[in-house]
Amino acid sequence: MPISTYTDAAGDAFRNIGDFASGLVTPTVRLGVTGLARSGKTVFITALVHNLIVGGRLPFFDAAAQGRLLRAYLEPQPDELVPRFEYEKHLADLTADPPRWPESTRRISQLRLTLEYASTKFWKRQLGRERLHIDIVDYPGEWLLDLPLLQLDYAAWSRAALEQARAPERKAASKDWHRALAVAKPADPADEAEAATLSDLFKAYLTAARSDQYTLSTLPPGRFLMPGDLEGSPALTFAPLDAKDAASFPRGSLWSLMERRYEAYKSYVVRPFFRDHFSRLDRQIVLIDVLAALNGGHAAVADLERAMTEILECYRTGANSLWSNLFAPRIDRIVLAATKADHLHHESHDRLEAILSLLTDKAMDRARYAGAEVKVLALAAVRATREGQAKRNGETLPCIVGYPLPGETIGRRTFDGNEAFAIFPGDLPADPQKALQGWQTEAGEMRFVRFRPPDPVALPSGGFAPFPNIRLDRAIQALIGDRLE
């Protein structure tokens, strides 16, 4: 075992002991929030914090429903080296005129929310109100896709990346990179300009494959898509190369340069993320835009299934003990949330949950076997639509009503974002297996329209009322409800 493995483990142990000791004064739950691009991470955190601070109606969150949640407020950022989640800025976006969705997560950030509550236990109530810190850690799900790279050398990663790029659904997106790759000679002396060109074309392929046209998910290295503060650094200037015998390439070759930078990426980007943030989480919610994958067809659904399996298998899950809390904390509760449930009529919500359960079944079986609790939900942290009915050809259809975003289309109609419209989204298949196989409606492939946020409602006392939501209270209960008893 490498010496670095021992030193990392020792560092983790000291850090975890420190966390455990501070938790004896005021208990702390480190809640990870992640998901692939456009899955709704920023909106979820903003809505969660706003509902708890303002006192939103959360009937399935026990502490709030029973009147035991006495106060919720933000406290200073607990980690000086991690950017603060910009809660106030994101709330301002949602309450603007007209309202707009906040910018997506592009780097790791953190926010401390403190809850004061009355315990359900008699002896605790005699001591007065209890406090619980919730340290919310927001990070791009794309970064999780990097963790399996720790087990791959450069040659193995190159082979896997090339195999993915040659798949039929990726050929159009990767053609420019393949054209440059065909003339690149790994054994030639390293050339910085050539390395930068190959890296830029590889990143352009990854970006195109993740666009709405393709809606594909498994695209490591994740920092190529979400570079954060590393944008433009040499550690992010590499790409796979096509070669049969890597052992024959001399030092100073293009292959050697790319290999060195790949290993630097693992050492200075991937390992610190795992050590400093990922390995310290107690609870986790993974937000998944299943509807976008359904829009993309069979290839996108299969790709999302593969991505979710890779992500969920990275978590260190299981029931915790005193020993594990001190030296190797485990994630003992996971919520998998299919976001944008408000894009469907409620009659399809159970079917959306069934599709997500099937997508993540293999990885979740492993987590359950280890002792972790897993819950699957169809969720909308901010509900952008309301339900209604419409008649067509004498038939009454369940519809959703909202303001489609500018540029969204239905048939020949293109929306400008200023007009409310009733939409019949169709029904998800009763058999979730059909969705994974590329199901289509009778009228062709089902498309889900994106909507702008609902109009905010000002409170007489100042500020804004919590936004309507779908099952946000159930998600909060599943994640922290047991810690407020």
CATH for the stretch 3-139+277-383+469-484: 3.40.50.300
Q: Can you tell me whether residue 143 is helix, strand or coil?
A: helix
The DSSP symbol for 346 reads G
Of residues 193 and 215, which shows the higher confidence score?
193
* Structural tokens at position 266: 């693992």
Q: Which of 296, 403, 398, 343 is nearest to 40 (CA)?
A: 343
CA–CA separation, 327 vs 20, rounded Å?
9
Look at residue 233 in the predicted model and tell me its pLDDT: 82
The kind and range of the H/E element at 299 are helix 298-312
Q: According to the model, what pLDDT value does residue 340 have?
A: 94
| Beta carbons within 10 angstroms of residue 193's beta carbon | 7
Q: 3 pLDDT band (50/70/90 cuts)?
A: very low
Q: Over the stretch 350-392, which tens digit does the pLDDT of each residue have?
A: 999 999 999 888 778 888 888 889 999 999 999 999 998 877 7
Torsion, CA 47, CA 48, CA 54, CA 59, rounded to 10: 110
Between the two ends of the chain, the Cα-to-Cα distance in Å is 43
Cα-based torsion angle of the residue sequence 339, 340, 345, 348 in order, rounded to the nearest 10 degrees: -30
Helix, strand, coil percentages for the chain (3-state, nearest 5): 45, 20, 35
Q: Tens digit of pLDDT for each residue in 79-119?
A: 888 899 999 999 999 999 889 999 887 788 999 999 999 98
Tallying the residues shown for the chain, one arrives at 485
User: Residue 444: pLDDT band by 50, 70, 90 thresholds?
Assistant: very low
pLDDT at 300: 82
SS3 at position 456: coil
Of the pLDDT bands very low, low, confident and very high (cuts 50, 70, 90), residue 213 is: low
**Do residues 480 and 283 touch, judged by C-beta distance below 8 A?**
yes
Its pTM stands at 0.85
CA distances (Å), 99 to each of 90, 110, 121, in order? Answer: 11, 24, 43
In this structure, how many other beta carbons lie within 10 angstroms of the beta carbon of residue 134? Answer: 25
Query: How confident is the model over 31-64, as pLDDT tens digits?
Result: 999 888 788 999 999 999 999 999 989 999 999 9
What residue spans define the domains of the chain?
3-139+277-383+469-484, 153-269, 386-436
Query: How would you class 416 by CB atoms within 10 Å of its CB: exposed for 0-12, middle for 13-18, buried for 19 or more?
Result: exposed
Dihedral sign for Cα 232, 165, 307, 275, please: negative
The CA–CA distances, whole Å, from 29 to 107, 136, 335 equal 21, 8, 15
Residue 306: the pLDDT is 83
Q: Confidence band (pLDDT; 50, 70, 90) for 198?
A: very high
- Looking at this protein, which amino acid is placed at residue 172? A
Q: Does 189 score more than 80 pLDDT?
A: yes
- Check residue 16 and give its pLDDT: 47
Q: Collapsing DSSP states into helix, strand and coil, what is residue 28? A: strand
| 424-437 pLDDT per residue, tens | 887 888 888 888 77
Whether the predicted pLDDT of 322 surpasses 60:
no
Predicted pLDDT of residue 410? 78
Is-contact 385 449, C-beta < 8 A?
Answer: no
Average pLDDT of the chain is: 85
